Amino acid sequence: MSGKFFGFTFFNSFFILLILTTVILRGQEVGNFRGTVADSATGEALAYANVFIKESGVGTSTDKRGNFLIIGLPANQTYNVTFSYIGYNTKVLKVKINQGKLTHINVQLEPVSIELEAIEKVGEKVIRKNATNISLQTLTIKQLEIMPKGVETDVLRSLQYLSGVRTTGDVSARYYVRGSTGDENLVLLNGVPVYNPFHALGLFSVIDPDMINSVEFYKGGFTAEYGGRLSSVLDITTKNGNQKSFDAEAEASYLTGKTLIEGPIPHGSFILTGRKSFSTGILNKFLNDQNVPIDFYDASFKLNYSNPEILNNGRFLLFGFLSGDNINYDDPAKEDFNWNNNILGFEWLQVYDVPLYSRLGLSFSGFNGKVNPNKSDIKPKENNVNDINFSFDLTNVFESKDELGVGFNFKALSTMLNLTNNQGVLTNLDEFGGSFSVYGKYKFLRFENFGADIGTRYNLTGVSKNGGGIAEPRVSITYRPLPFFALKGAWGIYLQEVSTISDENEVINLFEPWVITPEYLQPSTAIHYVIGTEINLSAISTLEIEGYYKIVHNLPIINQDKVYSYDPDLIAGRGESYGWEFSYKYVTPAISILTSYTLSWTYRSIGDYLYYPSYDSRHGINISTAYDFGNGWQASAVWSFNTGLPFTPLAGYYDKYYPGDLGGEWYSDDNFKPFLILGDRNIERLPVYHRLDLSLSKSLQIGFLNLAVDVSVINVYDRENIFYFKRETGERVNMLPILPTATMKIKL
């Protein structure tokens, strides 16, 4: 009871202190300016829109929810404020800033008509000189849609074109960031963790891109408000729904059919999405022409409610998501796979007049997966994850432009895993834990050319037995000695108490179950060191260079030598990665060019044994271009190159004797079966990989229908990129051949 009283008193006292501090520090010679930027046709928030004040040369960008705030403007003046966003008509408004007041404005931008030949010019680019945004990539659904599609638009596959992100082949949407394993990536959907973000054996994301509003992707060095993973954060915010009128969309590709319905409700809006696979023939191209009976679906809803008569400047969001995958063969000699996600989340977002922001969140995320071997040689697996989260975040912006953020998170997590390893030994892991963590951070933004984000998380208790009492300090700094040149750096410690169990000797991991770190292991920790520079060559072109070094301790690795049930399932390993990333952006309203080059090294070790993980590639190049011809026509091209991935060669085999039935013949030729002998782990390298993808799309209006047609060609010059060698026969298995695809979307 005392702990609850202490927490209540602490956070309420801190809340009051923030308000009093802001009132005391409020200047009498200045005023503040805040607001939202949204689409005039739907009322949907426009993330990362530009807001620029001509007279002062001060500007900012909206956040992922379309909000902006500019502090400390000279008062009693009228300013010309420019609001701009690619694909929308720029708007200039006169805004009066009053002394000691907070001026609020809601701005709606009109979409550029697809019939216009001319492309609307975007307002002056806003450069926040003191922004601490190292290793951060922001994406919108418009950026995702213009990229060539591997059957259809996919947010996780789009990440693979970014510097520092690796994949193990065309057949997987799984991604590896700066040398870390896939389970070290945190995927958040409206702030709720998604434990299995993949459909169809990892081929595609479960997240329908049509429901996405914005994406923030942190490749490393992320700040104190994020916790629970070692490597990266993918923070996805979904649309709130059309607040002006009812809309319906239908879309079909070679793989799925999907619908979207959205519209207004009293004081708010709603959005419903649904997607279902109806023909998986095209997936045979991804699976070496094997006919796999993949059947999947996903669906979501979101309710957005804001009533000033009940709570001024408050917004309530209720979000739900579910997905399911089933692979059920008619042949009893083959295994069946079933897994699903179930997510429910609630958010209360509040803006105060001081200015102060708060977010309260309550969520549930569940994952269930099962492998039924039937009469096959596959070993059975079953995994259940149940995650309940309660969190609160508070951000105060001072007149000095500095920001103070505090928050807490309570998590109750249970995991259950039943599996049988290759030795026939049964593993049963059933764990439950609760964690309580707090964080605080201070952003120094008072200086025009210098910004710093200094903070820490502290885990009072952990979901694992050894996860409590651990601090995670973090620092991110930006210094801009010249208007066009910035130096950046970040350092931080990160903690992870859950991980997936996967066998690195498997060529394709079909199922990766989650477990809480067992009591006999310490939770994993990582240290990030990041340095970088940003050079704004012009208003439309930017060069960025980042170097990183990351070391991971207590990395859980499956125990390949387990023989008896009392042997540990996991053993502690160590990870190390470092490299350089170079990226160049050239963006105008009509054309965008993004090129990147990555030079990286990744190692893992168990004791004194050092090896390369399966996703280590020394060199990577990505070149993507997109062009808007006007009148609804768009084209894009992406070329990718990577040096070869490691693989474990086959050293040989021998005839191993397996005893027969006790009642049968004890010795027979049928009791001898080939047993593979593998070479040193990942000692060999596959040949280099490269591929060109093209896309052409057209949007048009026919009566009351808006129609969009997209045609893409994957692997245009039909490069034979090797995927793996079959261990049983030595046969070479290639990745995707040349593959034309098409999608059609109809909007009422």
Average pLDDT over residues 300-317: 93
Boundary residue ending a domain (54, 82, 109): 109
Whether residue 617 is found in the same domain as residue 705: yes
Whether residue 75 is found in the same domain as residue 199: no
Whether residue 330 is found in the same domain as residue 260: yes
Buried b (16+ CB within 10 A) or exposed e, 436-461: bbbbbbbbbbeeeebbbbbbbbbbee
- Of 517-526, 649-658, 737-746, which gets the smallest average pLDDT? 649-658
Please check whether residue 5 lies inside any domain of the structure. no
In this predicted model, what pLDDT tens digit does every residue of 60-97 receive, in sequence order? 889 888 999 988 888 888 999 999 888 888 999 999 98
pLDDT at 631: 85
Q: Mean pLDDT: which of 47-51, 380-384, 495-499 is highest? A: 495-499
Between 566 and 316, name the one with better pLDDT.
316
pLDDT at 14: 47
- Of 128-142, 378-392, 580-594, 709-723, which gets the smallest average pLDDT? 128-142
Please check whether residue 213 lies inside any domain of the structure. yes
pLDDT at 722: 87
pLDDT at 140 over 80: no
pLDDT at 678: 72
- Of 233-242, 674-683, 704-713, which gets the smallest average pLDDT? 674-683
pLDDT at 116: 42
- Of 346-360, 417-431, 569-583, which gets the smallest average pLDDT? 417-431
In this predicted model, what pLDDT tens digit does every residue of 459-477 receive, in sequence order? 999 999 999 999 999 999 9
pLDDT at 127: 60
Domain of residue 46: give its range.
17-109
CA neighbor of 317 nearest in space, from 265, 367, 355, 261:
265
Average pLDDT over residues 153-181: 87
Radius of gyration of the chain (CA): 27
Spatial separation of the C-alpha atoms in residues 9 and 6, rounded to whole Å: 5
pLDDT at 253: 83
pLDDT at 419: 76
pLDDT classification of 299: cutoffs 50, 70, 90: very high
Please check whether residue 148 lies inside any domain of the structure. no
Boundary residue ending a domain (94, 109, 124): 109
How many domains would you assign to the chain?
Answer: 2
Residue 17 dihedral angles phi and psi, to the nearest 5° = -60, -40
Whether residue 73 is found in the same domain as residue 178: no
pLDDT at 513 over 90: no
pLDDT at 666 over 80: no
Whether residue 733 is found in the same domain as residue 592: yes
User: CB-based contacts of 124: which residues, under 8 Å, 6+ apart?
Assistant: 50, 52, 59, 82, 84, 539
Please check whether residue 669 lies inside any domain of the structure. no
Between 725 and 162, name the one with better pLDDT.
162
Please check whether residue 144 lies inside any domain of the structure. no
pLDDT at 23: 46
Whether residue 198 is found in the same domain as residue 74: no
Question: Can you spell out the DSSP letters for 14-45?
Answer: HHHHHHHHHHHH--SSEEEEEEEEEETTT--B
Between 545 and 114, name the one with better pLDDT.
545
Whether residue 469 is found in the same domain as residue 601: yes
CA neighbor of 31 nearest in space, from 77, 73, 80, 69:
73
Q: What is the CATH number of the domain that holds 196?
A: 2.40.170.20
Q: Rounding to the nearest 10 degrees, give the CA dihedral for residues 303, 406, 231, 606.
A: -130
In this predicted model, what pLDDT tens digit does every residue of 382-438 receive, in sequence order? 899 999 999 999 999 988 889 999 999 999 999 998 877 655 666 777 889 999 999
Please check whether residue 146 lies inside any domain of the structure. no
Tokens 């927490």 found at = 7
Give the percent of the chain with pLDDT over 90.
46
Q: What is the CATH number of the domain that holds 86?
A: 2.60.40.1120
Boundary residue ending a domain (43, 75, 109): 109
Question: What is the average pLDDT value for the chain, to the nearest integer?
Answer: 85
Whether residue 218 is found in the same domain as residue 104: no
Edge-first strand order for the sheet with 30-39 is 67-74, 30-39, 102-109
pTM > 0.85: yes or no: yes
Question: Which residues face 369 on adjacent strands?
Answer: 339, 383
- Name the token pair of 264: 């207004």
Please check whether residue 671 lies inside any domain of the structure. no
Whether residue 67 is found in the same domain as residue 196: no
Whether residue 45 is found in the same domain as residue 165: no
pLDDT classification of 117: cutoffs 50, 70, 90: very low
pLDDT classification of 190: cutoffs 50, 70, 90: very high
Average pLDDT over residues 353-369: 92
Question: Can you spell out the DSSP letters for 470-526?
Answer: EEEEEEEEEEEEETTEEEEEEEEEEEE-EEE---TT-SS-----EEEPPTTSPPEEE
Whether residue 548 is found in the same domain as residue 464: yes
Average pLDDT over residues 338-358: 91
pLDDT at 655: 63
pLDDT at 389: 96
Whether residue 475 is found in the same domain as residue 615: yes
Please check whether residue 326 lies inside any domain of the structure. yes
Average pLDDT over residues 529-534: 96
